[in-house]
Amino acid sequence: METILDITNLSKTYKSAGKTLSVLDDINFNIETGSANAIVGPSGSGKTTLLGLCAGLDRATLGSVVLNGVNLNNLSEDKRAQVRNQFVGFIFQNFQLLPTLTALENVMVPLELRGEKNIRARALDLLDKVGLASRGHHYPTQLSGGEQQRVSIARAFSNAPKILFADEPTGNLDAETGEKVQKLLFDLNKDAGTTLILVTHDLELAGKTQRILRIKGGKLVADEKTAIAQ
């Protein structure tokens, strides 16, 4: 199988009050194209930091992150931003929609950035797929949490990303809504053939992916295939 993400000897340290704090220590793994994966671990284990590094939101202290053949460590923040725009989709726990843009405009932004054509129709099509075609002109504050996360999913898929990073995508939603959002996420992911990396506390959600990477104290302590993969 082809690899989309290659993590080698990845370490991240921060300096705080004159002391060096190691958040991630010598992490190694790779992710196959089109697979669904979960990163799990207790609070403070370093999973969000790992997600940030994998998605090119931050730079590693040591080691390398190669995303779709591009070594992110060698790129400036602006170049990494363009890599994100071309290959990466994001879903956040707190939705992170732009509050001053309508739902439709939020979905359109990644496409506009790429200078695509026929943007509006495509964004409407995506909103339709997440069941919000009629709410396109509403601002985020006029939408419920579940609706906001569905808009966020539509936005994440709008640039047809090679890889989708989701940080606790159902963490802020009630069980029923969370269930619906999960289904939507996996369905769309399957349709588009996108690689998925989930960061979650929710082992049930993690169990719906093919592979679980367990992080503890900044180290990768387990790399397991789930029942789905087998």
Partner 1 sequence: MSTEYNNTPNLKRSVQWSWLFKMAWRDSRRNRSRLFLFVSSIILGIAALVAIYSFGYNLREDINSQAATLVGADLVISGNKPADKNLQPMLDSLGTEHSQERNFASMVLFNKSGDTRLVQIRALQGNFPYYGNIETTPVSASKSFRTGQYAIVDAALMQQYKARLNDSIKIGNLTFLIAGTLNQAPGQTGLSAGIAPVVYIPMQYLEKTGLVDKGSRINYNFYYKFDKSTDVDKLAEKLDAQLDKSSLHYETIETRKQNTGRAFSDLNRFLSLVGFIALLLGCIGVASATQIYVREKVASIAVLRCLGVKASEAFLIFLIQIAGIGLIGSVIGAALGTLVQQLLPMVLKDFLPFSVTSSVSWLALGQGVVLGIIISVLFAMLPLISIRNISPLNTLRSAFENVSLGRDPLRWLVYLLILGFMLGFSYLQLNDWKASIAFSVAILVAFLILTLMALVLMWLIKLLMKASWSYLVRQGFANLYRPNNQTVILMVSIGLSTAFICLLIFMQSMLIKQVTLSASGNQPNMILFDIQTAQEKGVLDITKKYKMPVIQQVPIVTIKLDQINNKTAATLPKDSTADNLRKAFGYEYRVTYRDYLTSSEKIAEGKWIGKAEEGAAIPVSVDERMARRLDIKLKDKLVFNVQGTPMNTYVASLRKVNWNKVQTNFQVVFPTGVLEEAPQFHVLLTHVPSGEASSKYQQAIVKQYPNVSIVDLGLVLTILDQILDKIGYVIRFMSGFSIATGIIVLIASVRISKYQRIKESVLLRTLGGSRKQILVITALEYLFLGSLSALTGILIAVGGAWLLAKYNFEIPFQVNYIPALILFGLTAALTIIIGLLNSRGVLNRPPLEVLRSDT
Q: Rounded to the nearest whole angstrom, what is the least distance from the CB of residue 227 to partner 1 in the complex? A: 26
Task: Choose, by CB under 8 A, the member of 143, 188, 197, 220 that binds partner 1.
Answer: 188
CA-to-CA dists, residue 198 to 37, 114, 185, angstroms: 6, 25, 11
3-class secondary structure for 156-199? HHHCCCCEEEEECCCCCCCHHHHHHHHHHHHHHHHHHCCEEEEE
Torsion sign across C-alpha atoms 97, 120, 147, 92: negative
By the 10 Å C-beta count (0-12 exposed, 13-18 middle, 19+ buried), 129 is classed as middle
Give the C-alpha distances (Å, rounded to integers) separating 154 from 94, 106, 130, 147, 222: 15, 9, 7, 11, 32
145 binds partner 1 (CB under 8 A): no
User: Quick one: which of 82, 172, 177, 210 contacts partner 1 (CB under 8 A)?
Assistant: 82
The stretch among 35-43, 100-108, 171-179, 208-216 that binds partner 1 (CB under 8 A) is 100-108
Residue 230 Cβ vs partner 1, minimum distance, rounded to whole Å: 27
**Residue 75 contacts partner 1 per CB under 8 A:** yes
Residues contacting 145, CB < 8 A, separation 6+: 95, 172, 173, 174, 177
What is the greatest pairwise CA distance in the chain?
A: 53
User: Using the rule CB under 8 A, which residue among 3, 73, 85, 172 binds partner 1?
Assistant: 85
Q: Which one of the spans 73-81, 169-177, 200-208, 218-226 is the region binding partner 1 (CB under 8 A)? A: 73-81
Q: Give yes or no for residue 147 binding partner 1 (CB under 8 A).
A: no
The reply to whether 21 sits near partner 1 by the rule CB under 8 A is no
Is-contact 2 68, C-beta < 8 A?
no
Span 43-72, contacts to partner 1 by CB under 8 A? 48, 51-52, 55, 57-58, 68-70
Total of residues contacting partner 1 (CB under 8 A): 48
Indicate which single residue of 41, 110, 146, 218 sits in contact with partner 1 (rule: CB under 8 A): 110
**How far, in whole angstroms, is CA 81 from its chain's centroid?**
14
Q: Is 77 in the site for partner 1 (CB under 8 A)?
A: yes
- CB 225 to partner 1: min, Å: 26
Interface residues toward partner 1, by CB under 8 A: 48, 51-52, 55, 57-58, 68-70, 75, 77-79, 81-87, 90, 92, 96-101, 105, 109-110, 112-115, 122, 126, 129, 139, 155, 157, 159-160, 162, 167, 188, 191-192
